[in-house]
Amino acid sequence: MALFVLQRLAALVVTLLVASLVVFLVMEVLPGDPAAIMLGVNAREDTLAALRAEMGLDKPALERYLIWVGGLLTGDLGRSYTYGVTVWELVGERIGLSLPLALIAIVLSTALAIPLGVLAAAKRNKAADVGVMGFTQLGIAIPNFWFAMLLILLFAVYWRVLPAGGFAGWDAGFWPALQTLLLPAVALALPQAAILARVTRSSVLETLGEDYVRTARAKGLSRRAALWRHAVRNALIPVVTIMGLQFSFLLAGTIIIENVFYLPGLGRLIFQAIAQRDLIVVKDLVILLAASVVVVNFLVDLLYAVLDPRLRGARHGL
């Protein structure tokens, strides 16, 4: 087991390093003179020079890269030009919104998708199955930002039950803050739930066809017992990997949804940073988000080994 973890950890570190290298190249080296891009072409020479000095552009690329990565590790991400505040503070404020939003979305989509997927597989080609497949077909086809707009139209415009956007902030009390996150979370969760339900269904269908489920039935277990005790447990293994992959889709979704609902989260921050050409913030956020995707996939790999003893590297056969 230790070997398995170490191998995965090595892969993680390599991937992170390469990712940071690429981000640094794209964001600092390729554009030639980041300062010019940030201030626009007609900026006065002295302000340009001051910015360059502040960003340390005069040092050789490698040195800047090492400083930057050092900063990443110690949390010193440099100062945003437009906001005049360190990037770390910027992120600190906004993570309080994006993270819970993502978590609610994950919980919602998993809680909805896995039971639906299992139900559809158990009742293959019957009403329940056709219904679930129809729902998932739609769920995948509807773009989440359009779905969000429809939700706003329905809940905020007609029924005026939920706020159309904006974020009350956690200090305004738990429930009101949660309320503002409800619609966005549902909009985020729908496509993920649809994909997850389909994957769960086909995975459970596959395991239902396996010999050991027939063995369980031959042992006298009822159809339901064989499904839950044997089929579903094995079916979850591929489903977990898909959930790992879905996190990166969820990330992209968050950026869009935060803009639809005008929520001041990481997504909106990155979007505004582009508009203001604040390369420092964009660079740091991109690497942070990319790193989170890689780390989540690393955790999913570990969960994979926990679920499937064959990967646990238990003692070799007798």
- Please report, as residue ranges, which positions from 113 to 142 form the binding site for other proteins (by CB under 8 A): 137-138, 140-142
Residue 300 as a binder of other proteins (CB under 8 A): the answer is: no
Residue 241 as a binder of other proteins (CB under 8 A): the answer is: no
Residue 62 as a binder of other proteins (CB under 8 A): the answer is: no
Residue 13 as a binder of other proteins (CB under 8 A): the answer is: no
Q: Is the CB of residue 4 less than 8 Å from the CB of residue 312? A: yes
Out of 83, 88, 228, 271, name the contact with other proteins by CB under 8 A: 271
Residue 215 as a binder of other proteins (CB under 8 A): the answer is: yes
CB of 118 to other proteins, least distance (A): 15
Residue 94 as a binder of other proteins (CB under 8 A): the answer is: no
CB of 60 to other proteins, least distance (A): 21
CB of 179 to other proteins, least distance (A): 19
For other proteins, give the closer residue by CB, 170 or 233.
233
Out of 66, 103, 214, 299, name the contact with other proteins by CB under 8 A: 214
CB of 309 to other proteins, least distance (A): 5
For other proteins, give the closer residue by CB, 131 or 178.
131
Q: Is the CB of residue 135 less than 8 Å from the CB of residue 189? A: no
For other proteins, give the closer residue by CB, 175 or 218.
218
